[in-house]
Chain A
Amino acid sequence: MSVDALLAVLLIPALAAAALALVPGYRVSAALNVVASAATFVAAASLFFTRPAGGLYLRVDDLSVVFIVLSAFVGLTTSVFSASYIAHEVEIGRLTPARLRFYHAMYQALLFAMNLALVANNIGLMWVAIELATLTTVMMVAVYRTHEAIEAAWKYFILASVGIALALFGTILVYVAAQPVVGAGLPGMVWTRLIVAARRMDPALLNLAFVFLLLGYGTKVGLAPLHAWLPDAHAEGPTPISAVLSGLLLNVALYAVLRFKMLLAANPGAVAPGPLMITMGLVSLIFAAFMLYRRRDIKRLFAYSSIEHMGIIAFAFGMGGPLANFAGLLHMTMHSLTKSAIFFNVGHVAQVKGAQSIADIRGLTVTHPVLGWTLAASVMAIAGLPPFGIFTSEFLVVSSTFARQPLLAVPLVFGLIIAFGALLLRLQGLAFGEPSPGAARARASYLPMFGHLALVLTAGVFFPPLITQWFQHVARLLG
């Protein structure tokens, strides 16, 4: 039964992708898309309780379960959102049914790829999976076929492929380091073997490998200065894809980085991976914080906020230690939920206002109270104000950092305040003041947006003990 769960997480999306490639009608395929995502989520959730025995290729451990469940959940809610959203896109003629078939197939393929990356026990396999995920998202970003969309996809593709190449080189280096210890052949790439033998590997080789892996997968995570693809890809692709990108793909790439960080941490001779991640995290945070100020496009704005938060998360994991790691995990979860909720909201707003430019969206709380106040709430959440979950993680990161490395906390807080100012400035323009024309009612479903916000709110006030212990356990694993 349990092994089935593991396979199901992979097979359901794969088969669904194949099926959706054939189904013509977009309404049917949208429904099918939701059903498949739901099934995947059920399977993923069951992984939480019954742990299948892993093999040389696949296996699930406490760390990956967190990511799998999260991505399956966001995948589900996003598919629900996309079902109603995409319909509207077809009606206004931005998409053709043919493209939609492609879109849905790609959506499931993406879920498949990400789940594969998360359950892969083989670093080569993980690499393949992440690359697959990248290519599918490239396709989806380009789906509108506008100049900007293609340009964004092209930029994304080029940068991503370079990242992939670097990551592969890093993977090879890891194998080279492992091979004398673990032995040649397949075992040299099996995660469970590597982590055991990491202590005896050549540290210098591991360092080199980590440099490449950090840059390679870091490109996917969107850390500055490797971030360039992220804002445009978010801004030009369909909104559900923006949600998935920010909510899932970045996490999966981060997951890969974390894996190798654990590898390095296990080796006494290797350079501490923490400082590298802390540096890149701070650079991303502060850079993105300043970039927020001059954004004209609402989706690009929140894309930059994703960079900022990825920076915070990288910083937290770089700090390490039970508190910071816990905070990192929490922040990642909360950011996925909140950011995708924001993108759902932005999707609605863009539809009712018929515009994506911040200048054309004003006074939402007057014309669309629900959308406006939800946007205000979710921006406050993403800016790290209580009673939302992100406040908890920022609280833990900042306070524990200041207690350990006061000098590191200063730039961190600086970046957070700068970013807060920018977000608040934009929010006040978007949600308040004299409203801009465009009073059409939003037709897509609010359910996913509310669901995410409810979760984030709950987590901010009350955090279930079960999940707490789970996160604490994982935080200890991460060292």
Chain B
Amino acid sequence: MNALDVLLIAAAALLALVPLALAMGQSPAGRWVIYGGSLAICGGALASALWALRRAASWDAVLPLGLPWIGARFHLDPLASAFAVVVSLGGALSSFYALGYGRHEEEPARVLPFYPAFLAAMSLVVLAADAFSFLVAWELMSLSSWGLVMARHREAGNARASFVYLVMASFGAFSLLLCFGLLAGPGGAYAFAQIRAHPPGPATAALALALAILGAGSKAGLVPLHVWLPLAHPAAPSHVSALMSGVMTKVAVYAFARIVFDLAGPPAWWWAVAVLVLGAITAVMGVLQALMQHDLKRLLAYHTVENIGIVFIGLGLALAFRAAAMPLAAALALTAALFHVFNHSLFKSLLFFGSGAVLTATGERDMDHLGGLIRGMPKTALAFLVGCIAISALPPLNGFVSEWLTFQAILLSPQLGWWALKLAVPVVGAMLALSAALAAACFVKAYGVTFLGRPRTPAAEAAREVDGFSLAAMFALAGLCVCAGVLPGFVIDALSPVAHGLVGGRMPEQASQAWLTIVPIGEARSSYNGLLVLAFIAASAGLCALAIHAFASRQARRAPAWDCGTPSASPMTQYTATSFAQPIRRVFGAYVFAAREQVEMPPPGDLSPARFEATVHDPIWEGLYAPLAAAVALAAQRLNRLQFLTIRAYLGLVFLALVGLLLVLALWN
């Protein structure tokens, strides 16, 4: 029984949990059975996926399902195993988290049946090796996550969120469907093996790329296809939000990589331009939108958009290098992208778990009603802090490593011969740097407003630490973030067969480097050692603390905050999320989202409070989606008149159709 069998059995077992969940959805035992079961299954799947990645081999399986003359084909190669690792790791940890978190679910019967189906669908997408099974799994993924978003169907706005979500999902699915139809050809050769055997011509491949961007991008949240994401991800229960943001978007990245690097044949150089530009725009738009949010979970969702942009920048570079036949550089870029995929799945899950903990402890998602949680829930605060540092790409954590690798890849790109790329890449690099810096700003805001300062509401005041499972899950993720940050070499080595499989090159082996340093290209060129950096920081901080406590006074006295001598009693005078973002809103807002601030000052003598209102708009929604919706509504309204004609008028229609066809014939003769 090989690794693929294990993964397939795991998926089947997850699906088998669904009827069980339907049966015992109401009983309290259901939570333990379903989440515990998913945890065990995902654990097994994770083990075998890791083993498969280590072996760097590939397996095939065909089941007598799906399209009868093709069967349901499954294939496990390094790429698939890498993403299987991401999927099963995320699944295992969120199941573990949910063991505790699920207790607070009002209607568990609406969550439990969909949850294992969602996990199974995601892993099946990664394993599928023919267009039909792929799309079935893909749509199942959308459908089950839709059900999970609908779990809180009574809350205002969730219906709209899930509606937009599923419509966008079906749009994406249709794009992928067209893409596969194109690649498979009129004969219907839907198996990936057949597609690989007959690579498409340049025009076809270009069209396929466009469709892949539409299909995978709409699921991953590429601007301008991202609008559903910040609506749907926060609406789901937090462990599901973690899965949707941390894992499902990665499955979309997998789909893109599979199609563009594996199925669509050799790339043309301008593909890279398209992907790079999209990625850069996505990264910057995502983080700027995130900065404007004051709903914690929505902020995180917008950050998913940003990180997807970073991943696509890496993929775009890989495409460029591959088109330029520079396998080593391509391997570097691709590894950077995949590394970031892995990292993001870690810290985004961690952050969503944290937000879930905050939600259970306070019942609040709005940061402007929180604050000071670091005292009520110090452990959660610590874990969340690790996540914030990681996502802000600060050393020595993992987020920094993947962005560092991406930068290294960008620094290789002057060797690319094409002018468009020569012009695009530096700008893309600049936007990447900008988004990284803005991300740090955004998480200073998120963490500072939520966990630091003084509590803004009684709910925040009364917040207490959450249950052990949640904490354990969060600290496990935090630990993984640190490990991936200080020992990146092992991750890079693990990813090298993937890069070799897709772009034919591999990075130098890292684990053998002295002091576990990572050296992407050459010693003299660039190197980074997270372990040493961490050690140095720890050492010098400790040294400094020791010295201080040795020579300096140790007395400390508690006193009211000084605040320039004007301490303010009310915690509402603290900076809120909105006011914290104000400087950046002033700098970028005017261009990017037509931010408007109006102040209503009462006339002198009037005692009514002054009102300050800041509004930001999503230009993409208003410029693209609202008009579309309006057009559809208008067409529906106009056509609807046809429902109320008289019988004579309907006969008239028949009559006209007849005469028209006769005319056609008369002309055709």
Q: Which residues of chain B come closer than 8 Å to A57, judged between CB atoms?
A: none
Q: A314 → chain B, closest Cβ, in Å? A: 14
Q: Which residues of chain B come closer than 8 Å to A290, judged between CB atoms?
A: 632, 635-636, 639-640
Expressed in whole angstroms, the Cα–Cα distance for A158 and B642 within the complex equals 17
The answer to whether A421 has its CB under 8 Å from any CB of chain B is: yes
The answer to whether B197 has its CB under 8 Å from any CB of chain A is: no
Interface readout for A262-305 with B: 1 if CB under 8 Å, 0 if not? 00000000010000100000000001001111100000000000
The answer to whether A82 has its CB under 8 Å from any CB of chain B is: no
Contact of B668 among A271, A291, A406 (CB under 8 A): A271
Q: Which residues of chain B come closer than 8 Å to A40, judged between CB atoms?
A: none
Known: A211-B665, A225-B657, A428-B159. A386 touches B140 (CB 8 A): yes
The answer to whether B390 has its CB under 8 Å from any CB of chain A is: no
Interface readout for A58-102 with B: 1 if CB under 8 Å, 0 if not? 000000000000000000000000000000000000000000000
Known: A387-B136, A398-B177, A421-B167. A215 touches B657 (CB 8 A): yes
Known: A155-B650, A432-B159, A433-B153. A468 touches B178 (CB 8 A): no
Q: Which residues of chain B come closer than 8 Å to A396, judged between CB atoms?
A: 188
The answer to whether A172 has its CB under 8 Å from any CB of chain B is: no
Interface readout for A335-364 with B: 1 if CB under 8 Å, 0 if not? 000000000000000000000000000000
Beta-carbon contact of B163 and A293 below 8 Å? no
The answer to whether A49 has its CB under 8 Å from any CB of chain B is: no
Interface of chain A: mostly helix, strand, loop or mixed: helix
Expressed in whole angstroms, the Cα–Cα distance for A204 and B668 within the complex equals 10
The answer to whether B462 has its CB under 8 Å from any CB of chain A is: no
The answer to whether B132 has its CB under 8 Å from any CB of chain A is: yes
Beta-carbon contact of B654 and A323 below 8 Å? no
Q: B51 → chain A, closest Cβ, in Å? A: 29
Interface readout for B122-165 with A: 1 if CB under 8 Å, 0 if not? 00000000011001100110010000001001100001001100
Beta-carbon contact of A462 and B65 below 8 Å? yes
Interface readout for A24-38 with B: 1 if CB under 8 Å, 0 if not? 000000000000000
Expressed in whole angstroms, the Cα–Cα distance for A403 and B662 within the complex equals 32
Q: A436 → chain B, closest Cβ, in Å? A: 13
Beta-carbon contact of B645 and A386 below 8 Å? no
Beta-carbon contact of B654 and A413 below 8 Å? no
Q: B72 → chain A, closest Cβ, in Å? A: 9
Beta-carbon contact of B163 and A424 below 8 Å? yes
Q: Which residues of chain A come closer than 8 Å to B661, judged between CB atoms?
A: 211, 214-215, 276
The answer to whether B550 has its CB under 8 Å from any CB of chain A is: no
A window 399-418: CB within 8 A of B: 399-404, 406, 409, 413, 416-418
Known: A400-B188, A468-B68. A226 touches B181 (CB 8 A): no
Q: Which residues of chain A come closer than 8 Å to B668, judged between CB atoms?
A: 207, 271
Q: What is the number of contacts between chain A and chain B, taking CB atoms within 8 Å?
A: 162
Q: Which residues of chain B come closer than 8 Å to A214, judged between CB atoms?
A: 661
Contact of B639 among A208, A291, A380, A401 (CB under 8 A): A291
The answer to whether B567 has its CB under 8 Å from any CB of chain A is: no
Contact of B665 among A154, A207, A228, A472 (CB under 8 A): A207
Closest partner residue, chain B, to A166 (CB atom): B658
Q: B281 → chain A, closest Cβ, in Å? A: 25
Beta-carbon contact of A323 and B188 below 8 Å? yes
Expressed in whole angstroms, the Cα–Cα distance for A158 and B649 within the complex equals 12
Beta-carbon contact of A462 and B64 below 8 Å? yes
Known: A155-B650, A293-B633, A398-B174. A208 touches B665 (CB 8 A): yes
Closest partner residue, chain A, to B646 (CB atom): A155
Beta-carbon contact of A391 and B139 below 8 Å? yes
Beta-carbon contact of A385 and B139 below 8 Å? yes
The answer to whether A184 has its CB under 8 Å from any CB of chain B is: no
The answer to whether A420 has its CB under 8 Å from any CB of chain B is: yes
Beta-carbon contact of A403 and B654 below 8 Å? no
Expressed in whole angstroms, the Cα–Cα distance for A424 and B66 within the complex equals 25
Contact of B154 among A392, A416, A434 (CB under 8 A): A434
Beta-carbon contact of A400 and B181 below 8 Å? yes
Interface readout for A433-476 with B: 1 if CB under 8 Å, 0 if not? 11000000000000000000000000011110100100010000
Known: A204-B669, A418-B632. A162 touches B177 (CB 8 A): no
The answer to whether A250 has its CB under 8 Å from any CB of chain B is: no
The answer to whether B184 has its CB under 8 Å from any CB of chain A is: yes
Closest partner residue, chain A, to B180 (CB atom): A399
The answer to whether A159 has its CB under 8 Å from any CB of chain B is: yes
Contact of A226 among B66, B110, B653 (CB under 8 A): B653
Q: Which residues of chain B come closer than 8 Å to A428, judged between CB atoms?
A: 150, 153, 159, 162-163
Closest partner residue, chain B, to A280 (CB atom): B657
Known: A409-B178, A428-B159. A226 touches B153 (CB 8 A): no
Contact of B662 among A211, A228, A462 (CB under 8 A): A211
Beta-carbon contact of B150 and A399 below 8 Å? no
Q: Which residues of chain B come closer than 8 Å to A48, judged between CB atoms?
A: none
Interface readout for A2-32 with B: 1 if CB under 8 Å, 0 if not? 0000000000000000000000000000000
Beta-carbon contact of B647 and A398 below 8 Å? no
Expressed in whole angstroms, the Cα–Cα distance for A110 and B56 within the complex equals 64
Q: Which residues of chain B come closer than 8 Å to A231, judged between CB atoms?
A: 643
Expressed in whole angstroms, the Cα–Cα distance for A422 and B163 within the complex equals 10
Q: A155 → chain B, closest Cβ, in Å? A: 5
The answer to whether A425 has its CB under 8 Å from any CB of chain B is: yes
User: Knowing that A399-B181, A417-B171, A424-B166 are A-B contacts, what are 6 other residue pairs whose CB atoms are under 8 Å apart, sorted by A's residue number?
Assistant: A214-B661, A228-B650, A271-B665, A292-B636, A323-B186, A417-B170
Between A and B, 15 residue pairs with Cβ closer than 8 Å are A211-B662, A219-B654, A226-B654, A228-B650, A271-B665, A290-B635, A291-B642, A294-B636, A294-B640, A385-B170, A395-B135, A399-B178, A403-B181, A421-B167, A425-B163
Shortest 6 CB-CB contacts between residues of A and residues of B: A399-B181, A293-B636, A228-B650, A432-B153, A468-B68, A402-B181
On A, residues with C-beta under 8 Å from B are 154-155, 158-159, 162-163, 166, 204, 207-208, 211-212, 214-215, 219, 225-226, 228-229, 231, 271, 276, 287, 290-294, 321, 323, 365, 380, 383, 385-387, 391-392, 395-396, 398-404, 406, 409, 413, 416-418, 420-422, 424-425, 428, 432-434, 460-463, 465, 468, 472
On B, residues with C-beta under 8 Å from A are 64-69, 110, 131-132, 135-136, 139-140, 143, 150, 153-154, 159, 162-163, 166-167, 170-171, 174, 177-178, 180-182, 184-186, 188, 190, 632-633, 635-637, 639-640, 642-643, 645, 647, 650-651, 653-654, 656-658, 661-662, 665, 668-669
